[in-house]
A and B are shown apart, each in its own frame.
Chain A
């Protein structure tokens, strides 16, 4: 019977331990890279674009009022208030992520480090994604009718319901030419 099978010299105990350690270290590093990437995309791409856009809205309000038009500027006020609240939440999430990454143990510190990355970093990734999802729902659900907004170079990638936007997200994330705002138009 033994001739039917080669001996079970598949992996030595040392190789099993090596796999255990390597996979844990990989988990920590991949989670850290994804967390830092999402934070940086938010801080360098999304939030500056929102600031720029809300600035444009505010300028529009000023111009309307300078022209002494009989207008309430309700749309602009609504957009500014919503974007301000949502971007504030996103900023809070980014800062919490930065603190979690700064306090993280070394990636090769074994199962305890992996548990930290799961409980303190990966969970915040989920929070940031949830925040982005809430944003995109709000944006996609209520504002698609304002077509000019959809052409905004950054906010466009936040709308998940069209194939084109999804494609652009892909292109944006992995563009070799650089930043989020350069690729959408």
Chain B
């Protein structure tokens, strides 16, 4: 089940309104605050995000052999590059006082933006970076311990609840959103970032003499240059803060630290209107 971003934003907004109205009708109060009670776990949203073609084909569906799925790997690379380059604006679009009480605490994703890929995809990326053949060793069966039940294939994406951006099968979950906020801002950021990255990829691939070789080089370069954003460990661990610092990832701890990202030159340029080439423009900000 999915819907396009516009509809999803509307549905979420309506759901929040209904929660409040129904609670009120029953003489209750629905709190959408991120942290109404100190000492009790707060509340947030997971924004399940992917890209699809106009015919409904999910571009983040890895298929049975993701290592050979060039289309999937291309869009994955664009996502990884985009999140790495615009980690500050992604952090910024989920920042406000209520969410400051969650992010960075031991109940919500940390304030550091990173991507969880899971063992299989991480191994594929490693083989592409190193130029080695990928050996599929990660397909595991779940041992349930009950003989009468069949073996179940284990989901290789795992469920790392501490990761701010986790790949879960055929989509990414952006897990930093607060419970009271509109999901439109984060989706605007994700979509714009992806548009920017895919435009760069298209420019490079369209000029290439050998498409397949250019694609291979593009994937290798992208994964190599942006692998610092990938982290499959425990985001709650204090060691991660030190490791993220070593990798040069930003750690914007609260709204006040985040807000300058809105007026950062790089981010303003990302969102600004561009002169459309079809209209004789040069694709620079107006």
Q: Does B9 belong to the interface (CB within 8 Å)?
A: no
Our pick among A11, A23, A171, A174 for the contact of B272 (Cβ within 8 Å) is: A11
Q: Please, which residues of chain B bring their CB within 8 A of the CB of A31?
A: 97
Would you list 23 pairs from A and B whose C-beta atoms are within 8 A, ordered by A residue? Answer: A1-B199, A1-B206, A5-B195, A8-B272, A8-B274, A10-B192, A10-B271, A13-B268, A17-B263, A20-B260, A20-B263, A23-B95, A24-B255, A24-B256, A27-B96, A27-B259, A111-B256, A114-B255, A132-B38, A133-B38, A170-B29, A170-B31, A173-B36
- Given A2-B276, A8-B195: A115 touches B256 (CB 8 Å cut-off): yes
Tell me if A169 and B37 are in contact (CB < 8 A).
Answer: yes
A9 located at the interface, meaning its Cβ lies under 8 Å from any Cβ of chain B in the complex = yes
* Interface of B toward A, CB cutoff 8 Å: 29, 31, 36-40, 95-98, 100, 188, 192, 195-196, 198-199, 202-203, 206, 254-256, 259-260, 262-263, 267-268, 270-278, 285-286
- Complex alpha-carbon distance, A9 and B285, angstroms: 9
A10 neighbours in B (Cβ, 8 Å): 188, 192, 271-273
B262 touches A5 (CB 8 A): no
**How far apart sit A129 and B196, CA to CA, in the bound complex (Å)?**
44
Nearest chain A CB to B20 CB, angstrom units: 11
Other CB < 8 Å A-B pairs besides A8-B195, A9-B274, A24-B255, 12 of them?
A5-B195, A9-B273, A10-B192, A10-B271, A10-B272, A12-B272, A27-B97, A31-B97, A129-B38, A133-B38, A170-B31, A173-B36
The yes or no answer to A166 lying at the interface (CB within 8 A) is yes
With a CB–CB cut-off of 8 A, which chain B residues contact A19? 262
Closest to A160 in B: B39
- Least CB distance, B230 to chain A, in whole angstroms: 26
Q: Smallest CB–CB gap between A79 and chain B, Å?
A: 24
Are B40 and A160 in touch, CB under 8 angstroms?
A: yes
CB-based nearest B residue for A9: B273
Q: How far is the CB of A133 from chain B (nearest CB, A)?
A: 7
B263 engages A2 (CB within 8 Å): no
Q: A60-99, CB under 8 A of B: which get 1 and which 0?
A: 0000000000000000000000000000000000000000
CA–CA, A98 to B262, complex, Å? 32
Judge if A144 is at the interface, Cβ distance under 8 Å. Answer: no
A26 at the binding interface (Cβ < 8 Å): yes
Q: Which residues from chain B contact A15 at a C-beta distance below 8 Å?
A: 271
Bound-state CA distance A170–B196 (Å) is: 45
Report A23-56 residues with CB < 8 Å from chain B CB: 23-24, 26-27, 30-31, 34
Question: How far is A20 from B270 in the complex, measured between Cα atoms in Å?
Answer: 15
The answer to whether A30 and B195 touch across the interface, beta carbons within 8 angstroms, is: no
Does B255 contact A8, Cβ atoms closer than 8 Å? no
A164–chain B nearest beta-carbon distance, Å: 13
Chain A residues near B260 (CB-CB < 8 A):
20, 111
Measured CB to CB, the closest approach of chain B to A158, in angstroms, equals 12
Interface residues of A in 123-172 (CB under 8 A from B): 129, 132-133, 160, 166, 169-171
Give the distance in Å from the alpha carbon of A10 to the alpha carbon of B262 in the complex.
13
Is A2 in contact with B256, judged by CB distance below 8 angstroms? no
B182 → chain A closest CB, angstroms:
13
Beta-carbon contact of B96 and A16 below 8 Å: no
**Known A16-B271, A174-B29; contact A114-B37, beta-carbon cutoff 8 A:** no
Please tell me if the beta carbons of A8 and B40 are within 8 angstroms of each other in the complex: no
Residues of B within 8 A of A7 (CB): 273-276
Leading 10 A-B pairs by shortest Cβ distance = A9-B273, A20-B262, A11-B271, A1-B202, A30-B97, A10-B271, A174-B29, A114-B256, A7-B276, A118-B256
Closest to B275 in A: A7
Minimum CB–CB distance from B177 to chain A (whole Å) comes to: 15
